[in-house]
Amino acid sequence: MTTSADTGGWVGRSAPRREDARFLAGRGRFVADLGDAATLHAVFVRSTQPAARLLGVDVSLARRQPGVVGAYTGADLAEDAGPLPTLHEPHPGFAAATQFRMADPALPCLAVDEVLYVGQPLAVVLAHSRHLAEDAAELVDVRYADRAAVTDATEALRDDSPVVHERLGDNEAGRIGFTLGDVDTARAGAHLEVTETYRMGRHGAVPLECRGVFATVDHRRERVEVWTSTQIPHLVRDTMCRVTGWATESVRVAAPDVGGGFGTKANVYPEEIIIPVLARRLARPVSWVEDRAEHFLAAAQGRDQVHHTRLAVDATGRILSWEDDFVVDIGAASLWTAGILANTAVHLLGPYRMRCVRVHGRAAFSNKTVVAQYRGAGRPEACFALERSLDHAARELGISQEQIRRRNLLTAADLPHRVDLPYRDGVPIELDGGDYLACFEACLDALPRAELTRLRAEHPELAVGYGVANYLEATGRGPYETGRARLGADGRFAVAAGSASAGQGHQTTLAQVAADALGVDPAAIAVVNGDTDAVADGIGTFASRSAVLAGNAVDQACRELVSRARQLAAQLLGAPEARLRDGVFEAAPGTSAPGDSADSTAGAAGTLSWAELAAALGPRGTLADAPPLDVTVRYRPLTVTWTMGSHAAVVGVDRETGLCRVLLYAVAHEGGTEINPMIVHGQIVGGVAQGIGGALLEEFRYSADGQPLSGSLADYLLPETTDLPPVRVVARHTPTGANPLGVRGAGESGTIAVYAAVAAAVQDAVGAHVTATPITPAQVWRAASREPALGRAG
């Protein structure tokens, strides 16, 4: 736990969450809770084919159904909204250094001429109830001319593949590559080379709350108000205005309580555009609540990468060269292709000493559901490829998983570590950390191999194995985040930020940051985020950025507010200068005492409270002509804040069935200042849970001709209480100057290395080379029975 030296000590405290009261009382306000009897309910008609020309979409019968208010095709609404633009492009410096290229899929909001994935929306029905809208939606007649579907990313990149987006000519959605050092020479001198193909199956966020949009027109304010279950309300607003042509002031976008996002809600969706369009068109409130079946077809998915790797080491296991040629299947479209490619490519560096690296990556279009950034967003895939390769080399050399990592981890002497490559923000990479090797050792201390003895005795029916993995993580990427602090009339504060919480507790953490800067109790601070009314611009919450960016933005805004307040307080105190001490203003020492120009607003003994200052700024106060204390700041970090961590997993395998259970897990991570250690801990444990799900259980499966096979929570297996182990977390406080609060992001830290650690543990248990996730019981059973190589069939 850390406490800022010169603050009131709220940062660093595991303060109880403000959010809890309403959720525990059943008083949350999620998007499905909004609206009333007048609200119209929308149902989207979605493609049942993965690739087809649309010969016709006939809504005439649907329109005539009882309770139906309207039914619209893509053609009907084509003028109202253009195609969705990508949300992210890398800095030109990065793009040049990595020969980055990207295609623009430009998917329309509602399909008009063609459909490119099962689940793509192509019509929408509005009725007085969801029930009636579903009834009518079944009567929309869609005629398709099927074409060959592209379902394998590697095949998609072949010259003879069918093309997903005809106008683009091929299926390359993006490419990236870089080389460090002289790979070929380094490799030539290697003692050992290991090559392998690694696959991470398609899976994703699957939050407990599906998506949803509620839009209503405010005629007095002449604008549409859009509540959407999103992590990025400002980007949704910006995109909405861009594709509709609406003026920014005519749109408000806000996130209500959001039931988990994990990246799938850090996306802009066609539904988020169409629902407001309909609300405007009909001048009626319109609600769309995604159901789980839709979610599995139409909410952005993740992972789905294949890596062709070659690691060369010397006789002691020291890395000489590392090469990876990877392909990402980004589905029919992605607004985050650049982010996924860049994250994967850069994080292949790992927290290791590596001088010679050659990375080449491509993203391919396929006729599968759209893809966005899911917790880790490329880092887990990169980590899996690298860590598994290290294990492979270790086995060939006859050394342990631990030994090969000790040989290569960056130590205190190596840090900060410069890499001859810019990060996606264009700034040269410099890994700022404490001691990566020591972090690894701390993880091994938290969950030592020696515990296997006890665990094996407790589970004699299982083969128990131990696996470790390390990850590197860039957090807190800019370009900026907005923070705002305002002194209210009663001396309490309103703080706002561009972040949007989906469970990370920003209402609590940002109040803690503000409390320290303002010298007051967090209870005196009301935090609003996720709303374009609260701050006019912002980016949002994803990529482990909000503690760094929103935290520092709020901190800066509060400090700026304090700075201005001090000037006003000085006036009121009749002193040349005032300072804020323990939440109260007083004349700065060495300046003239009050009394000469005594002001009636100065409190006893020459002090001034925030409430008194607020009163002075009020209409009857002595400073009534002064502008209100309301500060908005855009915090721009210089670059990302790096962090790393180590994971250790103990997995028990039933050899006779291949069923695997994670028995115990540990994470040690180089964290910075933790605004609320309890919340950071919760993020890590939750992240591990999702990693275990992805490693062992979760997959979006598709048939060979592009039909989704994972249509419900009965097919797509989420970890239950009985699937997850206790997780030990060691936070190794590693101060950083990368941002004023010294925070390192942690939202994805729990997930990134799980796949590799679990795979290593399974391998340790049954002695077979795990090269793909999800690690299925059938594969493990085969390996335990006889075969040495697991997962080649993918």
Partner 1 sequence: MTDVRIVVNGTPVEQSVEPRLSLADLLRDRLGLTGTHLGCEHGVCGACSVLLDGRSVRACLTLAVQAHGHRVTTVEGLAEHRTTRSLVAALSAAHGLQCGFCTAGFLVSATELLEESDGAELTDRDVRAALSGNLCRCTGYQGIIEAVRQAATDSAAGAQAADGATPAS
Partner 2 sequence: MKPAPFEYLRADSVPAALAALAEHEDAKVLAGGQSLLTLMNLRLARPSVLVDIGGLAELDRVFSDADDVLIGALVRHRRVETDPELRALVPLAAAAAGHIGHVGIRNRGTLGGTLAHADPAAELPLVMVTLGATCYLESLHGGVRAVPAEQFFVSYYTSALRPDELLTWVRVPRVRAGQGWGFVELARRHGDFAMAGAAALVELDSLGEVRAVRAGLMSAGETPLLVSGPDGLVGETASARRWGELATEWTAELEFSEDPEYARALARVALRRALTEAEARAESTPEAA
Query: Which residues contribute to the site for partner 1 (CB under 8 A)?
Result: 16-17, 19-30, 32-33, 131, 205-210, 257-260, 262, 289, 291-292, 502-505, 678-679, 681-682, 685-690, 712-714, 718, 720-722, 724, 726-727, 750
Binder of partner 2 out of 33, 134, 414, 630 (CB under 8 A): 134
Closest alpha carbon to 512 in 30, 25, 1, 23:
1
Tokens of 148: 């060959």
Name the binder of 659 from partner 1, partner 2, none, CB < 5-8 A by kind.
Answer: partner 2
Of the CA atoms within 13 Å of residue 633, those in its CB half-sphere come to: 23
Q: Is 793 in the site for partner 2 (CB under 8 A)?
A: no
Question: Which listed option, partner 2, partner 1, none, makes contact with residue 30 (CB within 5 to 8 Å by class)?
Answer: partner 1
**Residue 580 per-residue DSSP state:** E
Tokens of 489: 């009339």
CB contact set of 734 (below 8 Å; sequence gap of 6+): 433, 434, 643, 670, 671, 672, 744
Q: Minimum Å distance from CB 783 to partner 2?
A: 12
Which has the closest alpha carbon to 374: 343, 332, 349?
343
Nearer to partner 2, 257 or 290 (CB): 290
130 makes contact with partner 2 (CB under 8 A): yes
Tally the C-alpha atoms within 13 A of residue 434's C-alpha that lie toward its C-beta.
19
| Residue 293-312 contact track with partner 2, rule CB under 8 A, x = bound | x-------------------
Q: How far is the CB of 207 from partner 1 (least distance, A)?
A: 5
Candidate ranges 128-136, 217-225, 247-255, 609-617; the one touching partner 2 (CB under 8 A) = 128-136
How far apart are the C-alpha atoms of 280 and 283, rounded to whole Å? 5
Work out what residue 781 binds among partner 1, partner 2, none; the CB cut-off runs from 5 to 8 Å by kind.
partner 2
| 257 interacts with, out of partner 2, partner 1, none, CB within 5 to 8 A per kind | partner 1
Token pair recorded at residue 300: 């952005």
Rg (CA), the chain: 28
Q: Return the one option of partner 1, partner 2, none that residue 134 interacts with (CB less than 5 to 8 A, by type).
A: partner 2
Q: At what angle do helices 777-785 and 754-766 cross, to 10 degrees?
A: 30
User: Where is 691: in which H helix or E strand?
Assistant: helix 677-692
Other C-beta atoms lying within 10 Å of the C-beta of residue 224: 23
In angstroms, give the least distance from the CB of 291 to partner 2. Answer: 4
Where does this chain touch partner 2 (CB under 8 A) — which range of 321-329, 380-388, 653-661, 749-757? Answer: 653-661
Q: How many residues bind partner 2 (CB under 8 A)?
A: 25
Shortest Å, Cβ 121 to partner 1: 19
Taking the complex as a whole, the smallest distance from the CB of residue 130 to partner 2 amounts, in Å, to 6
Q: Does 695 bind partner 2 (CB under 8 A)?
A: no
* Kind of pairing between the strands at 428-431 and 417-422: antiparallel
Beta carbon nearer to partner 2, 292 or 308: 292
Nearest-approach distance from CB 294 to partner 2, in angstroms = 9
Using the CB atoms, write b or e for 610-649: b if 16+ within 10 Å. Answer: bbbbbbbbeeebbbeeeeebebbbbbebebbbbbbbbbbb
For partner 1, the closer of residues 118 and 210 by Cβ is 210
Task: For residue 564, state whether it binds partner 2 (rule: CB under 8 A).
Answer: no
Interface residue with partner 2 among 722, 786, 788, 793 (CB under 8 A) is 722
Of 338-346, 513-521, 576-584, 778-786, the segment contacting partner 2 by CB under 8 A is 778-786
715 binds partner 2 (CB under 8 A): no
Residue for token digits 């130590």? 411
Smallest separation, CB 723 to partner 2 (Å): 6
Q: What end-to-end distance do the CA atoms of the chain give, in Å?
A: 43
CA distance 213 to 753: 34
Q: Which does 512 bind (CB under 5 to 8 A by kind): partner 1, partner 2, none?
A: none
Is the Cβ of residue 281 or residue 292 nearer to partner 2 in the bound state?
292
Alpha-carbon distance of 141 to 240, in angstroms, equals 29
Residue 453 as a binder of partner 2 (CB under 8 A): the answer is: no
Does position 701 bind partner 2 by CB under 8 A? Answer: no
DSSP strand pairing (584-587 vs 607-609): antiparallel
- What's the min distance (Å) between Cβ of 206 and partner 1? 7
Residues 6+ apart with CB under 8 A from 360: 175, 176, 177, 324, 325, 326
774 contact choice in partner 2, partner 1, none (CB below 5 to 8 Å, kind-dependent): none
> Which CB, 427 or 678, lies closer to partner 1?
678
Residue type for position 198: Y
170 lies in the site for partner 2, by CB under 8 A: no
Does position 44 bind partner 2 by CB under 8 A? Answer: no
- Least distance from C-beta 213 to partner 2, angstroms? 18
Residue 656, interface with partner 2 (CB under 8 A)? yes
Which of partner 1, partner 2, none is residue 33 near (CB under 5 to 8 Å by kind)?
A: partner 1
Which entry of partner 2, partner 1, none binds 542, CB below 5 to 8 A by partner kind? none
CB nearer to partner 1: give 259 or 538. 259
* DSSP codes joined into one string, 63-131: HTSTTEEEEEEHHHHTTT--PPPPS----HHHHHHTT-EE------SS-SSEE-STT-EEEEEEESSHH
Residue ranges of alpha helices (H) inside 427-505 are: 436-446, 451-458
Count of CB atoms situated within 10 Å of the CB of 757: 35
Round to whole Å and give the CA distance between 233 and 216. 16
The nearer residue to partner 2, 322 or 700, going by C-beta atoms, is 700
Cβ distance to partner 1 smaller for residue 350 or 686: 686
Q: Which does 751 bind (CB under 5 to 8 A by kind): partner 2, partner 1, none?
A: none
Contact 285, 396 (CB under 8 A): no
User: Cβ 372 to partner 2, closest distance in Å?
Assistant: 23
User: Residue 218 or residue 787: which is nearer to partner 2 going by CB?
Assistant: 787
Closest CA to 385 of 323, 427, 321: 323
Contact range with partner 2 by CB under 8 A, out of 235-243, 291-299, 318-326, 514-522: 291-299
Number of helices followed by number of strands (H, E) in the chain: 22, 32
Cα three-residue angle 765-769-774, rounded to 5 degrees: 85
- What is the DSSP-derived secondary structure letter of residue 702? B
CA distance 594 to 587: 8
Position 787 contacts partner 2 (CB under 8 A):
no
Residue 600 binding partner per list partner 2, partner 1, none, with a CB distance cut-off of 5 to 8 Å that depends on partner kind: none
The residues pairing with 88 across neighbouring beta strands, listed in sequence order, are none
Of 407, 397, 308, the residue nearest 350 (C-alpha): 407
- Residues 340 and 362 sit within 8 Å (Cβ to Cβ): no
131 forms part of the interface with partner 2 (CB under 8 A): yes
The stretch near partner 2 (CB under 8 A) out of 408-416, 462-470, 543-551, 650-658 is: 650-658
Q: Which residues bind partner 2 (CB under 8 A)?
A: 130-131, 134-135, 138, 291-293, 656-659, 697, 712, 714, 717, 719-723, 777-778, 781-782
